[in-house]
């Protein structure tokens, strides 16, 4: 009797199959069926994923200027930090932050993004937010604000040229699209969603200017830029574009792309350059817009400029920002991605409002 009870107890203690294990077994079965009946489709999917990654990652990041721009941007950001740039920003923004009852450090990622690169902005300013005592809500606000500004100075310059060619007054558009959101977005988010914020006086904040010697600052920054590029940006981008390649092979991505075209047109954004901003590179989008701006509706040019002056493409929102901010701030991947998604939704809304309502006033 004791032996029977022991065996029953052993059976009851056996590990039960979990839901994810059932999913795994279903995938094993599907893989076997696929290898038997559709090996060519499996190989084709993999080939499409690789080709998509090579077409974007190699051309833009390895042999193109985008990869080197990331290294230069990180280097530039660290040099600016060493020269007191961060402390100057904090001092300037303290009065506004006090009025908003928010940590003044939330503005820094957005400003660094304008000057350099979104990956550099996260890598440099994430620790600054932690050091300044910013709450998690304030760090989310910082991410959502950061994606309101362009991540390349070349994007800014090409976009301004496109506005000029379309006969649009550049100054008011730049003020409304780039500088006003640095204050307006933190205010909106602080008063609605992320309310756990607090004002910090200048005396309570530490100094952010490092004391590293000039040459170590320069060369360590370049090495850090290379780490950001090869260990974070390229893997995250490759993952996103591999998925897109697979969806293209199975003809799932084409309807998504068609839907994007309709949505962008309705939002007063040129569909051609808008899709380039969303999927590939805002800098490339602004270069394309420069060639066609003179023949486009000014509303589409303005809307496209506002959208391009953001944290796009989607590979940054869904890949690079979560990876970088999870390692340099108090946010995890999900929190950082959620803040970035909310920020980019606000950017689409901004592009529509400025493109449709403001354009008639600036031409």
Tally of domains within the chain: 1
Contact 340, 147 (CB under 8 A): yes
Residue 237 located in a structural domain = yes
Burial of 192 (0-12, 13-18, 19+ CB in 10 A): exposed
181 pLDDT tier (thresholds 50, 70, 90): very high
Task: Return the pLDDT at 36.
Answer: 75
Domain-embedded: residue 33: no
- 10 pLDDT band, cuts 50/70/90, is low
Question: Does 55 reside within a domain?
Answer: no
Instruction: Please report whether residue 41 resides in a domain.
Output: no
Q: What is the pLDDT of residues 217-257, one digit of tens each?
A: 899 988 888 887 888 778 877 887 888 889 889 899 888 88
Is 155 a member of any domain?
yes
pLDDT digits (tens, 9 = 90+) for 246-255: 988 989 988 8
Each residue's pLDDT tens digit, 317-354:
988 899 889 988 999 999 999 999 999 999 999 999 99
The answer to whether the CB of 355 falls within 8 A of the CB of 323 is no
Q: Is residue 6 part of a domain?
A: no
The residue range of the domain holding 96 is 62-361
Cα–Cα distance list, 74 to 31, 67, 120, 126 (Å): 43, 11, 5, 13
Is residue 317 domain-resident? Answer: yes
Among 120, 131, 325, 315, which residue's Cα sits nearest to residue 224? 120
Q: Kindly state whether residue 16 falls inside one of the protein's structural domains.
A: no
pTM given for the model? 0.77
Note the pLDDT of residue 7. Answer: 58
> What is the spatial distance between Cα 274 and Cα 6, in angstroms, rounded to a whole number?
68
């Amino acid at each position: 009797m004791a032996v029977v009870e022991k065996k029953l107890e052993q059976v009851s203690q056996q590990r039960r199959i979990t839901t994810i294990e059932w999913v795994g077994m279903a995938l094993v079965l599907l893989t076997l069926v696929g290898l038997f009946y559709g090996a060519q489709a499996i190989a084709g999917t993999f080939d499409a994923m690789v080709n998509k990654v090579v077409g974007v990652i190699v051309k833009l990041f390895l042999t193109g200027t985008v990869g080197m721009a990331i290294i230069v941007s990180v280097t530039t950001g660290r040099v600016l930090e060493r020269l007191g740039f961060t402390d100057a920003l904090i001092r300037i923004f303290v009065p506004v932050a006090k009025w908003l009852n928010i940590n003044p450090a939330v503005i820094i990622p957005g400003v660094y993004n304008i000057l350099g690169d979104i990956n550099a902005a996260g890598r440099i300013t994430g620790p600054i937010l932690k050091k300044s005592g910013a709450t998690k809500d304030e760090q989310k606000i910082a991410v959502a604000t950061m994606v309101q500004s362009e991540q390349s100075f070349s994007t800014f310059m090409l976009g301004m040229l496109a506005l000029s060619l379309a006969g649009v007054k550049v100054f008011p558009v730049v003020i409304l699209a780039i500088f006003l959101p640095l204050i307006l977005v933190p205010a909106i988010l602080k008063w609605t969603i992320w309310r756990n914020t607090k004002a910090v006086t200048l005396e309570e904040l530490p100094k952010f200017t490092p004391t590293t010697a000039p040459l170590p600052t320069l060369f360590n920054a370049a090495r850090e830029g290379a780490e950001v590029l090869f260990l974070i940006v390229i893997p995250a981008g490759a993952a996103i574009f591999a998925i897109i390649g697979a969806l293209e092979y199975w003809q799932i991505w084409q309807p998504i792309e068609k839907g994007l075209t309709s949505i962008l047109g309705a939002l007063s954004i040129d569909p051609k350059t808008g899709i380039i901003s969303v999927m590939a590179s805002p800098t490339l989008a602004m270069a394309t817009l420069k060639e066609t701006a003179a023949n486009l509706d000014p509303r589409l040019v303005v809307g496209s400029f506002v959208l391009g002056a953001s944290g796009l493409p989607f590979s940054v929102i869904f890949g690079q920002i979560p990876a970088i901010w999870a390692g340099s701030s108090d946010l995890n991947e999900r929190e950082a991605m959620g803040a970035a998604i909310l920020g980019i939704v606000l950017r689409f809304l901004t592009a529509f409002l400025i493109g449709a309502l403001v354009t008639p006033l600036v031409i």
